[in-house]
């Protein structure tokens, strides 16, 4: 179990106030990590930070627009200033509306790409600098099952997440020999605000969505957090450039 021990390590987690970001922050903190929480809204960041502190770990909330390269660099600078280093980066921030391809404006298309793919590019490059100086680090990119299938109602989001999968491999090829492992998790239907809001918008029962996978239920944010723990810890020391599909298993239709 010492392979999963994160004592003395510092993790930056984007989208850290809610959903899988919050779940990942709590799981990493339970295993010893101090965390820097990034997101656009202060209130959920502060709430998650208090939960982390209750576990006996340090937490610093940093309101951040991850689509802004300068904001990404500032986030990394705060982490280094507060803790002296960055060991783990969890690129979790993301999301998008759902609507047909013809209804997307050019600005909306670019916005989805910047949030879901651009943020991974900017933050990974910024965090890689202190990691390379330290000779060790782990980057975990949160992708989506949408990246692996045709998604006509979420085409920009699916395309951006497919880019995350590819970028994960490219960064792993560039940095693994220098000590930075880069992996991704393609997340299926998880009980998070984005899925619940979409279900309500379309009059769908979120529990029925979960029944489509092999497990027959929605995933919980902390379950994704344990996948993040695997890639962030020494338990995955021989693993880099991989995309793990965590979606509850193939359903009756085989997908």
d(CA 205, CA 227): 26
- Give yes or no for a contact between 255 and 244, defined as CB atoms under 8 angstroms apart: no
Helices 155-175 and 119-134, axial angle in degrees (round to 10): 20
Core vs surface per residue 109-124: b (16+ CB within 10 A) or e: bebbbbbbbbbbbbbb
Is residue 127 classed as helix, strand or coil in its secondary structure?
helix
Distance, C-alpha 194 to centroid of its chain: 14
d(CA 207, CA 81): 43
Strand order in the sheet with 243-246: 59-63, 34-39, 10-14, 88-91, 137-144, 180-187, 243-246
CA angle 92, 107, 42 (to 5 degrees): 40
Helices 119-134 and 69-83, axial angle in degrees (round to 10): 30
Q: Considering 157, 202, 226, 245, which one is annotated as catalytic?
A: 157
d(CA 131, CA 128): 5
Distance, C-alpha 185 to centroid of its chain: 8
Would you call 202 a catalytic residue per the annotation?
no
* Active-site amino acid positions: 157
């Amino acid at each position: 179990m010492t392979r999963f021990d994160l004592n003395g390590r510092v993790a930056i987690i984007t989208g850290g106030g809610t959903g899988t970001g919050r779940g990942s922050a709590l799981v990493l903190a339970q295993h010893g990590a101090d965390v820097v929480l990034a997101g656009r809204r202060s209130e959920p960041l502060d709430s998650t930070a208090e939960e982390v502190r209750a576990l006996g770990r340090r937490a610093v909330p940093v309101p951040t627009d991850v689509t802004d390269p300068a904001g990404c660099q500032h986030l990394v600078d705060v982490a280094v200033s507060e803790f002296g280093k960055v060991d783990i980066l969890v690129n979790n921030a993301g999301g998008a509306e759902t609507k047909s391809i013809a209804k997307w404006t050019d600005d909306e298309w670019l916005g989805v790409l910047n949030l879901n793919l651009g943020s991974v590019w900017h933050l990974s490059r910024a965090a890689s600098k202190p990691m390379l100086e330290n000779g060790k680090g782990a980057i975990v990119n949160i992708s989506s099952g949408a990246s692996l299938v045709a998604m006509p109602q979420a085409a920009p989001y699916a395309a951006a997440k497919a880019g995350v999968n590819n970028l994960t491999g490219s960064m792993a090829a560039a940095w693994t020999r220098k000590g930075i492992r880069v992996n991704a998790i393609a997340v299926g239907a998880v009980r998070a605000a984005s899925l619940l809001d979409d279900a309500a918008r379309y009059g769908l029962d979120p529990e029925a969505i979960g029944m489509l996978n092999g497990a027959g239920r929605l995933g919980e944010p902390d379950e994704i957090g344990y996948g993040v723990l695997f890639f962030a810890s020494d338990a995955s020391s021989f693993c880099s450039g991989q995309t793990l599909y965590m979606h509850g298993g193939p359903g009756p239709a085989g997908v």
